[in-house]
C-alpha cells in the first residue's frame, strides 16, 4: 500500500517560512510514490480546546475535518515554527483536538502507529530545532513513530529562492529526503 501523507505547517501566516518548507518535503514524499495531501491550517480555524465545549457539542467542525484527514492518512509531515522554544499554539491545538476520541473510537485513533517527519524554519540561528524537541516528545507519547532524521532551516528570511526552493541545494535535498523517508517507512509499515 502506498504511503498516504498528510503534510502541513504549524503556521497560518500567509508568507510562512514553514509553509514554504513543507512544500519541499511534500514534493520529496510525492517523488517517492506517496499520496500526499498538503493542507493549510488557516483553512481549519478551531477554538482553543475546552473540555466543556467538547462535552456540550463534541468536536468543532474544523477540528473534526482535521481529525478525519489524520485518520485517512498513515503518515504526516509537519513543518513547525518555534515559539519561545516550543511549538506554536496553532499546531498544539490542532493536534490536541485530533487526539480526542469520539464514541466507539479507540484512543489515539488518528495517531497510533503512524509515521511522522519533522521540519522547522526560523529567522533565528537555530532554525527552530528547539521546538522540534517538544514536538518529537509529544508525538512519541501519542504513539507516533517519528523519524530520527529532521531538517531545520536557520536564517529562513534569506534561505528561499523566489520559486520556493532553498538556495542551499544540499539543504533542499535534505528536506526532500525527509519526505522520502516518511513515504518509504509508511509504505513498509503498511505492506
Ligand X SMILES: Cc1cc2nc3c(=O)[nH]c(=O)nc-3n(C[C@H](O)[C@H](O)[C@H](O)COP(=O)(O)O)c2cc1C
Q: Which is nearer to ligand X, 9 or 78 (CB)?
A: 9
Phi, psi of 152, rounded to the nearest 5 degrees:
-125, 145
* Strands lying side by side in the sheet with 35-38: 35-38, 4-9, 75-79, 115-121, 145-153
Least separation, in Å, of the C-beta of 19 and ligand X? Answer: 6
Q: Which is nearer to ligand X, 85 or 161 (CB)?
A: 85
Least separation, in Å, of the C-beta of 80 and ligand X? Answer: 8
Least separation, in Å, of the C-beta of 171 and ligand X? Answer: 16
Say if CB 75 and CB 5 are below 8 A apart. yes
Least separation, in Å, of the C-beta of 75 and ligand X? Answer: 21
Least separation, in Å, of the C-beta of 90 and ligand X? Answer: 9
Q: Which is nearer to ligand X, 11 or 74 (CB)?
A: 11
21 to each of 9, 87, 126, 179, how far by Cα in Å?
Answer: 8, 16, 15, 11
Residues that bind ligand X (CB under 6 A): 9, 11, 13, 16-18, 81-85, 122-124, 126, 128
59 to each of 56, 106, 149, 167, how far by Cα in Å?
Answer: 9, 16, 33, 41
Least separation, in Å, of the C-beta of 133 and ligand X? Answer: 12
Q: Using CA atoms, how far apart are residues 19 and 87, in angstroms rounded to an integer?
A: 15
Q: Give every CB contact of residue 46 below 8 A, 6+ residues apart in sequence.
A: 60, 62, 63, 66, 93, 94, 97
Q: Which is nearer to ligand X, 128 or 179 (CB)?
A: 128
Identify the burial level of 72 via C-beta atoms within 10 angstroms of its C-beta, where 0-12 means exposed, 13-18 middle and 19 or more buried.
exposed
Amino acid at each position: 500500500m502506498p504511503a498516504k501523507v498528510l503534510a502541513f505547517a504549524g503556521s497560518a501566516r500567509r508568507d510562512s517560512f514553514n509553509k514554504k518548507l513543507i512544500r519541499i518535503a511534500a514534493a520529496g514524499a510525492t517523488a517517492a510514490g506517496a499520496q500526499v495531501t498538503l493542507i493549510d491550517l488557516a483553512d481549519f480555524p478551531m477554538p482553543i480546546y475546552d473540555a466543556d465545549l467538547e462535552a456540550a457539542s463534541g468536536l468543532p467542525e474544523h477540528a473534526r475535518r482535521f481529525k478525519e484527514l489524520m485518520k485517512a492518512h498513515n503518515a504526516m509531515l509537519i513543518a513547525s515554527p518555534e515559539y519561545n522554544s516550543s511549538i506554536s499554539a496553532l499546531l498544539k491545538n490542532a493536534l490536541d483536538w485530533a487526539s480526542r476520541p469520539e464514541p466507539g473510537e479507540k484512543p489515539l485513533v488518528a495517531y497510533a502507529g503512524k509515521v511522522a517527519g519533522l521540519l522547522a524554519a526560523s529567522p533565528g540561528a537555530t532554525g527552530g530545532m528547539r521546538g522540534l524537541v517538544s514536538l518529537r516528545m509529544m508525538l512519541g507519547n501519542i504513539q507516533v513513530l517519528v523519524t530520527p532524521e529532521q531538517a531545520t532551516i536557520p536564517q529562513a528570511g534569506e534561505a528561499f529562492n523566489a520559486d520556493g526552493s532553498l538556495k542551499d541545494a544540499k539543504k533542499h535535498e535534505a528536506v526532500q529526503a525527509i519526505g522520502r523517508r516518511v513515504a518509504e517507512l509508511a509504505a513498509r509499515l503498511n505492506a
